[in-house]
Chain A
């Protein structure tokens, strides 16, 4: 009842209307305040969208170029990836897994460490024995084959050909040693218009072509991560020497022809991976028909389905093996992203703090300027609570205006961005690749993080209201009138 009465006393009047008009009294101030809220919302949303978007993208990359969503492994293998911790594979295991409704295929792997060397240069590598056809189910490895490479010779030829613009020549110089998995990226980085592709592609094919030959089960031959090849100074056609610890203490050694290079979006893979057919790897390690892991390829890959499938598979799998999910396999990356996420949130918090101080300053000024007006209103009979509610409306409008404008502009922008990621070119692209990132910004589609912004701005409005509301409730009419 009291509540109802309060409601009547305070809200049946046109508070909201009066507040709306008050807003436009000092048009410029309202604009500036709303604009600052808008900028906060805008930057926070774009920033969050890119940040969470790139996490998603990196997870997907990690999953698709290596871990998959689930793997069947010998129980000790993940902790100690020696060839002794592999398991004996037979078709029945595959049959067993395929019985599950969510399992689409299995992808065999023989994975362990090895030492790779070329002359006196040596590096510890990750030897991945794969089924080249099946691997494509997961990682589309064929698409990641290096097709062009700007070698010093290629650069010389490009610079010697006057068909290429000065800009393209400069770009080519910048990208010496870089690999390309597709034409679009190559043209982009060389600053050549897609329209002119027909004129330049044949030339580039001649100068910079670098197509990998396929690797096949039963045929010795390896693909190298592009950065690893650079490190070891190896090229297609060269031979790589691999040394390792074979099954049950045997020593493993072999020489393999490099059939091609692959460029992987996950930097730590790109700099250490050597792919070979898994049966050749079995030979190398002398481990019979053992596998280190069996990637379980799924139909449904959302968190819940993955969890459910993992639970279902716990029972039927052989003794001494276990199903490991992508989160366990990418623990370090997830931790890094989490840390990065925290610092991102901190940055946004600081941004909002700065904006909040701005808004607070405005409110402070507004309260001081309107003291006399408040005095007159209370003198002629306006209850302080009503006056406070008008000010509250004013602040809510300013907040809403900022949020609405922010959303109105960012939603289409982000939606566009999710379909058309920002792709860097030139120096920026080169720098990002050098740091091991793909020169690409991916947006997270509009989702719950929008609500957070609304919540934060709401909080900001709330805090900035404390001062004027307190001032109004404590207002002494006589002093206010003298102002």
Chain B
């Protein structure tokens, strides 16, 4: 089942006089259950691409269909709701709301979606258990390590049962041990729950774990390999 389709997507930045063709005609499909890494040199367009997939940025040209919905056709407040219900995000850093505990951060989206309290709490505990943080549910982000924070962010991204999770360099700020733990958790979720992950990375060890590796350069897909 296709969860995401990109059709000839372009992004041109027109800052001052220089025109930057950050994404230059990318066409890609993603199936349910993929574990895909987007790699490429710095400035190749990874972040730009992920932002457009997540509906945070609008393509200059081309279509992005999430579960057959064209993101560019949604107006801004509907798009925010669409993101909430269909797309999970893990950013490189400062993902969490600093004044909420791990549990409250994970609950946050379910709260916005008005889940009943019991159901909400049950799922929150399950998710925190899945990322190995059962013992830290009442800690605020400032009391968690960078790796633990990223794991909470993964749990939160999963909370709304999204079609896929986007992660732009989720391990960039982590040491190798935390990187290992995070990627393992993502792998397990992917294998056991069939969660779709699309992430960008510079880390060769992370790339190795991916089931599909898309290499882009100058805004174009160079290779698209599955192992």
On A, residues with C-beta under 8 Å from B are: 12-14, 18, 21-22, 24-25, 372-373, 376-386, 477-478, 481
B54 contacts the other chain (Cβ, under 8 Å)?
yes
Surface stretch bound by A, among B33-41, B88-96, B143-151, B185-193: B88-96
B99 contacts the other chain (Cβ, under 8 Å)?
yes
CB closest residue in chain B, given A378: B80
Residues in B neighbouring A382, C-beta threshold 8 A: 80, 84, 112
**Cβ B91 vs Cβ A481 within 8 A:** yes
A376 with B94, Cβ < 8 A, contacts A381-B160, A382-B80 known:
yes
CB closest residue in chain A, given B48: A478
B111 contacts the other chain (Cβ, under 8 Å)?
yes
**Cβ A478 vs Cβ B99 within 8 A:** no
Apart from A381-B80, A381-B84, A384-B77, 8 more pairs, CB < 8 Å: A13-B111, A18-B99, A25-B99, A379-B54, A380-B88, A386-B112, A477-B56, A481-B91
CA distance A314 to B188 in the complex (A): 98
**Cβ B81 vs Cβ A380 within 8 A:** no
**Cβ B80 vs Cβ A372 within 8 A:** no
B178 contacts the other chain (Cβ, under 8 Å)?
no
CA distance A377 to B56 in the complex (A): 12
Chain B 74-108, CB within 8 Å of chain A: the 1/0 string?
A: 00010011011100110100110111100000001
Residues in B neighbouring A478, C-beta threshold 8 A: 51, 56-57
Residues in B neighbouring A377, C-beta threshold 8 A: 97
**Cβ B77 vs Cβ A376 within 8 A:** no
**Cβ B81 vs Cβ A379 within 8 A:** no
In the complex, 14 of the A-B residue pairs with CB atoms within 8 angstroms, ordered by the A residue number, are A13-B111, A21-B99, A24-B99, A25-B98, A376-B95, A379-B56, A379-B83, A379-B89, A380-B83, A380-B89, A380-B157, A381-B80, A382-B84, A382-B112
On B, residues with C-beta under 8 Å from A are: 51, 54, 56-57, 77, 80-81, 83-85, 88-89, 91, 94-95, 97-100, 108-109, 111-112, 114, 156-157, 160
* Residue in B77, B94, B108, B112 whose CB lies within 8 Å of A373: B94
**Cβ A380 vs Cβ B94 within 8 A:** no
Q: List the 9 closest pairs (A to B, CB-CB), nearest first.
A: A381-B84, A21-B99, A477-B56, A478-B57, A381-B83, A478-B56, A478-B51, A25-B99, A380-B89
CA distance A21 to B100 in the complex (A): 8
Residues in A neighbouring B94, C-beta threshold 8 A: 372-373, 376
CA distance A317 to B91 in the complex (A): 89
Residues in B neighbouring A380, C-beta threshold 8 A: 83-84, 88-89, 108-109, 156-157
CB closest residue in chain A, given B76: A384
Q: What distance in Å separates the Cβ of A398 from its nearest Cβ neighbour in chain B?
A: 15
Residues in A neighbouring B57, C-beta threshold 8 A: 477-478
Residues in A neighbouring B56, C-beta threshold 8 A: 379, 477-478, 481
CA distance A372 to B56 in the complex (A): 13
Residues in B neighbouring A14, C-beta threshold 8 A: 111
CA distance A386 to B108 in the complex (A): 13
CB closest residue in chain A, given B96: A376
**Cβ A381 vs Cβ B100 within 8 A:** no
Q: What distance in Å separates the Cβ of B183 from its nearest Cβ neighbour in chain A?
A: 21
**Cβ A383 vs Cβ B97 within 8 A:** no
CB closest residue in chain B, given A12: B114
Q: What distance in Å separates the Cβ of A375 from its nearest Cβ neighbour in chain B?
A: 9
CA distance A380 to B98 in the complex (A): 15
Residues in A neighbouring B98, C-beta threshold 8 A: 25, 373
Residues in B neighbouring A373, C-beta threshold 8 A: 94, 97-98
Residues in A neighbouring B157, C-beta threshold 8 A: 380
Q: What distance in Å separates the Cβ of A391 from its nearest Cβ neighbour in chain B?
A: 13
* Residue in A12, A18, A383, A385 whose CB lies within 8 Å of B100: A18
CA distance A377 to B83 in the complex (A): 11
Residues in B neighbouring A372, C-beta threshold 8 A: 94
Q: What distance in Å separates the Cβ of A393 from its nearest Cβ neighbour in chain B?
A: 13
Residues in A neighbouring B114, C-beta threshold 8 A: 12
**Cβ A22 vs Cβ B156 within 8 A:** no
* Residue in B77, B89, B95 whose CB lies within 8 Å of A383: B77
A381 with B51, Cβ < 8 A, contacts A18-B100, A25-B99, A478-B56 known:
no
**Cβ B112 vs Cβ A13 within 8 A:** yes
Residues in B neighbouring A477, C-beta threshold 8 A: 56-57
Q: What distance in Å separates the Cβ of A238 from its nearest Cβ neighbour in chain B?
A: 81
CA distance A379 to B94 in the complex (A): 13
Residues in A neighbouring B156, C-beta threshold 8 A: 380
**Cβ B112 vs Cβ A381 within 8 A:** yes
CB closest residue in chain A, given B90: A380
CB closest residue in chain B, given A483: B94
Residues in A neighbouring B88, C-beta threshold 8 A: 380
Residues in A neighbouring B91, C-beta threshold 8 A: 376, 379, 481
**Cβ B112 vs Cβ A22 within 8 A:** no
Most chain A beta carbons < 10 A, residue from B51, B57, B99: B99
Residues in B neighbouring A384, C-beta threshold 8 A: 77, 80
CA distance A373 to B160 in the complex (A): 20
